[in-house]
Structure 1
Amino acid sequence: MTDLKKMYSTLRGDSFPMEMTISFGDQTLVYRKKTWKIPMENGALDERGLRYGENPDQEAALYELVNGNLLLGDCRYIEPGNGLVSAITVEDMLQVGKHPGKINLTDVDNGLNIIKYLIDKPAVVILKHNNPCGAAVGTSLADAYNRANRCDRIAAFGGAVVTSRPLDRQTAELMAENYLEVVCAPDFEEGVLAILARRKNLRVIRMAGIARLAEFEHHRFIDFKSLIDGGIIVQQSAVNSIRSAADLKPATTTYKGVAYTCERQPTQREIDDMLFGWAVEHGVTSNSVIYVKDGCTTAIGAGEQDRVGVAEIAIHKAYTKYADITCFDTYGIPYADLVLEIARGTRSADDKLAIDAKVKAERAGIPGSVMISDAFFPFRDAADVGIREGVTAILQAGGSIRDFESIQACNEADPQVAMMFTGQRSFKH
């Protein structure tokens, strides 16, 4: 049987060419494969590209655009020489650990995809398997990281972190308490690398381009999807058009000649959370529903087939993660360890009862949250899920023939719930 653990630490190598050319009609894009000379344990330099793809038995390669610029409708590529993930050099890898794998870099890339809409504030996104498991803005970078991490401390284990600000010592100390795969920041203050070095295999990446991420906000690129028969689907990348309160639309509709309007308007705090949540939603695999409060995710539901199901899954996750962080705050151990110790007879069951009672009383911190859906609600059932748990506002795309049901749900709630439409869907597959 193959030693899978050994496979994870093995450099697979790849058979991909050093140069790749893509032509769109009379326009040509030239890409060069990225390789890095990284010291091995014996001190020798080993020049390789990506360690492997999504799994250890898949070859993979990273290519950087080095020549050409595509103009296709309103799609205009970033000029060569302005790369982010594809332009990472050995000098940018301040702590290597191991050659990066495909997932490491796609996690960072999706983190940038979210952070580019939050670049004006101290912001942190923690990602796992190309989905955010926690995202927050804060009064400082340390505050933002702490809040993002507490959203889902369990999923953050082995995750990738992207920050909008240079990493400071206080934030680094918090990060060093966790097992992380990648930390990517625009720069690192003095003394930070020594703190992060406590984690031997952590990859630390300096990406100066984060400072100008706002320039990438309106640039579209071509997204490729290869089919199993060798065919290719291409599409323009999505752009988030919901960037200010003026971009939000009243929740109003007409059904069988009757007009329906959401009666309560959102507060400024709820509007801020709507804008923050829609930026995060831009990087979540659809179907998705997320809950946010005070510039921080409280629960993230991603990649489900039905909308009410993902709304419920996000709530279930919120209770599970809230129990874990409450237990960790109280006893210094994960909730799962608490349950195990009780089963072994080494801890009183009253400790678990106390944690469970607190989580139930505080409803996993969901009350006051804003519910964000990446597409319209086909029925009111998903809205009802959030309302029952205490959300005070909802943001959804709108456009369903049954929008009136969701509006009714908000108006019938006690207290009433605000709802706004985006007029934009935010699917990501």
Structure 2
Amino acid sequence: MSDLKKMYTTVVEDPFPSELVIRLGETELVFAKRTWTIDGEEKGLRYGENPDQPAALYAPAAGRLSLGGVEFRGPGDGLICAATEEHLLQSGKHPGKTNLTDVDNGVNILQYLTAKPAAVILKHNNPCGAAWSEAGLCAAFEAAFASDRIAAFGGAIVVNRTLDVATAEKINAVYFEVVAAPDYEPAALDILKSKKNLRIFKLPGLAQLDKLVGQPYLDLKSLADGGIVAQFSFRNRILAAADFLPAQATDKAGTTVVARTPTSQEAEDLLFAWAVEAGVTSNSVIFVKNGATVAIGTGEQDRVGVVELTIFKAKTKYADSLAFAAHKLSLYELTQKAAADPEAAASLADIKARTEATMGGLAGSVVVSDGFFPFRDGVDLCIGAGVTAIAQPGGSIRDTEVIAACNEATPQVAMVFTGQRSFRH
């Protein structure tokens, strides 16, 4: 067993060259391999997605792409790829590919959430919790963590404000692998450094993410046969509540249906949820309440299926949070104990009842969907869970049926269209 463990700590030999050059038409883009001097030794990425995959990180060094009159991000715009020893405040076991891509997706989400202190916790390149709060960074982190404390274990945290002592103490109470912030209070950094395996990144650009919004990067996807798909990166068109479109549609008979307009609180939560959606694998839905995710459904093959699974997830995580608050036991541990302990069994029954009464915390939440609802079944499930407002791209041939589901609800559920899809593969 000890030999098997070595695969996770061993640095894989890096055979990649120091420079990568890509030419698109007349434009030449030059990328320089990023390495760090750690413990007196020059090291690149620890390994790729798995311990037996060599990998390298390249940062834009020269050349800037412009296509169709749109200028892309390039040299000088770097965040995670621009990190030097100065920014790697503590290397822990020193970063691998998955650590960097988790932080990168946190950056991807936070670029749309600059108005308030915000925190995103990521695991396997999907957010498991996100929140923003006028009350400050610590409140945002606590709300993000409460969204899914189980999935957060061993995750990466990315924040958009200087990390303070209160937040550092909350972070240190749990096991995380990576923390990234624009800066750190000295005392907060001391607290975080007490966890020797924690990778700590200082990325000053996290405080200026609004400068990148609307400017795409060149998004390259490699195929299994060695081919490459090049695309403009996703650009979120919903940057303010006013950017949502009214949900209305006309059926074949000429009847037009129009959905209720969200309240200001619902619209703000939908705005937040759509920003988080930019970093979630499709098909997905996200439930949000009071500026924090309640449940995130990721990567399912059908729209109604992801809603069903996300509602189930919400109930499980909510019940777990109640069990942990009452007994310092996970839901699984409390269930085991309840099999032989009448008092634990009574507590478990109460927790299950409270969970059903609030639909796992979904009652009063809003939901966004990265693609349109092809049928009203997914919407009916959301309404049954207590959702009060929905945002979705629109454009289905059954939009009238989907809107009708909202209008038939008591109380009436709001709906808006985003006018764009947010798939992420």
Give the alignment's TM-score, normalised by structure 2: 0.97
Partner of 2:350: 354
Alpha-carbon offset, residue 342 of structure 1: 3.0
Partner of 2:260: 264
Partner of 2:312: 316
The two structures, once aligned, show a CA RMSD in angstroms of 1.5
Partner of 1:20: 20
Alpha-carbon offset, residue 112 of structure 1: 0.5
Q: Letter of the aligned partner of 2:225 in structure 1?
A: D
1:205 corresponds to which of 201, 209, 233 = 201
Spell out the pairing of 1:77-156 with structure 2 (5 A cutoff): 77-138=72-133, 139-156=135-152
Q: Does 1:409 align with 2:389?
A: no
Partner of 1:186: 182
Q: Does 1:296 align with 2:292?
A: yes
Cα pair distance change 1:351/1:64, threshold 3 Å: same
Q: Does 1:67 align with 2:67?
A: no
Partner of 1:34: 34
Alignment partners' CA distance in 2, 1:6 and 1:354: 45
Moved more, 365-374 or 72-81: 72-81
Alignment partners' CA distance in 1, 2:115 and 2:417: 24
Partner of 1:284: 280
Cα pair distance change 1:100/1:382, threshold 3 Å: same
1:242 corresponds to which of 228, 238, 242 = 238
Alignment partners' CA distance in 1, 2:287 and 2:3: 40
Alpha-carbon offset, residue 360 of structure 1: 1.5
Give SS of 2:61's match.
Answer: strand
Q: Does 1:376 align with 2:372?
A: yes
Cα pair distance change 1:208/1:379, threshold 3 Å: same
Contact 1:93–1:204 under 8 Å retained in 2:
yes
Partner of 1:9: 9
Amino-acid identity (%): 55
Moved more, 3-12 or 158-167: 3-12
Give SS of 1:363's match.
Answer: coil
Alpha-carbon offset, residue 264 of structure 1: 2.3
Q: Structure 2: which 5+ runs fail to align?
A: none
Q: Does 1:169 align with 2:165?
A: yes
Give the alignment's TM-score, normalised by structure 1: 0.96
Alignment partners' CA distance in 2, 1:32 and 1:68: 12
Give SS of 1:100's match.
Answer: coil
Q: Letter of the aligned partner of 1:28 in structure 2?
A: E
Partner of 2:53: 58
Alpha-carbon offset, residue 191 of structure 1: 0.5
Q: Letter of the aligned partner of 1:37 in structure 2?
A: T
Alignment partners' CA distance in 2, 1:387 and 1:296: 19
Q: Letter of the aligned partner of 1:58 in structure 2?
A: Q
Cα pair distance change 1:160/1:76, threshold 3 Å: same
Q: Can you list the C-alpha shifts for 1:129-180, whole angstroms capped at 9, x where unaligned?
A: 1110001001110000000000000000011011010000001111001110
Contact 1:262–1:418 under 8 Å retained in 2:
no
Alignment partners' CA distance in 1, 2:216 and 2:69: 7
Alignment partners' CA distance in 2, 1:263 and 1:399: 15
Give SS of 1:354's match.
Answer: helix
Q: Can you list the C-alpha shifts for 1:31-53, whole angstroms capped at 9, x where unaligned?
A: 111111111xxxxx121100011
Partner of 1:42: none
Give SS of 1:81's match.
Answer: coil
Alpha-carbon offset, residue 2 of structure 1: 9.6
Q: Can you list the C-alpha shifts for 1:362-415, whole angstroms capped at 9, x where unaligned?
A: 221101111100111000011011000100011000000000111110011111
Moved more, 327-336 or 276-285: 327-336
Contact 1:36–1:49 under 8 Å retained in 2:
yes
Moved more, 251-260 or 137-146: 251-260
Partner of 1:219: 215
Partner of 2:333: 337
Q: Structure 1: which 5+ runs fail to align?
A: 40-44
Alignment partners' CA distance in 1, 2:226 and 2:407: 51
Alpha-carbon offset, residue 346 of structure 1: 9.5
Q: Can you list the C-alpha shifts for 1:57-96, whole angstroms capped at 9, x where unaligned?
A: 1111000111111111244233413310101111211121
2:360 corresponds to which of 354, 360, 364 = 364
Alignment partners' CA distance in 1, 2:331 and 2:195: 24
Alpha-carbon offset, residue 231 of structure 1: 1.1
Contact 1:157–1:180 under 8 Å retained in 2:
yes
Moved more, 326-335 or 300-309: 326-335
Alignment partners' CA distance in 1, 2:344 and 2:74: 62
Alignment partners' CA distance in 2, 1:14 and 1:320: 42
Give SS of 2:177's match.
Answer: strand
Alpha-carbon offset, residue 343 of structure 1: 4.0
Contact 1:75–1:236 under 8 Å retained in 2:
no
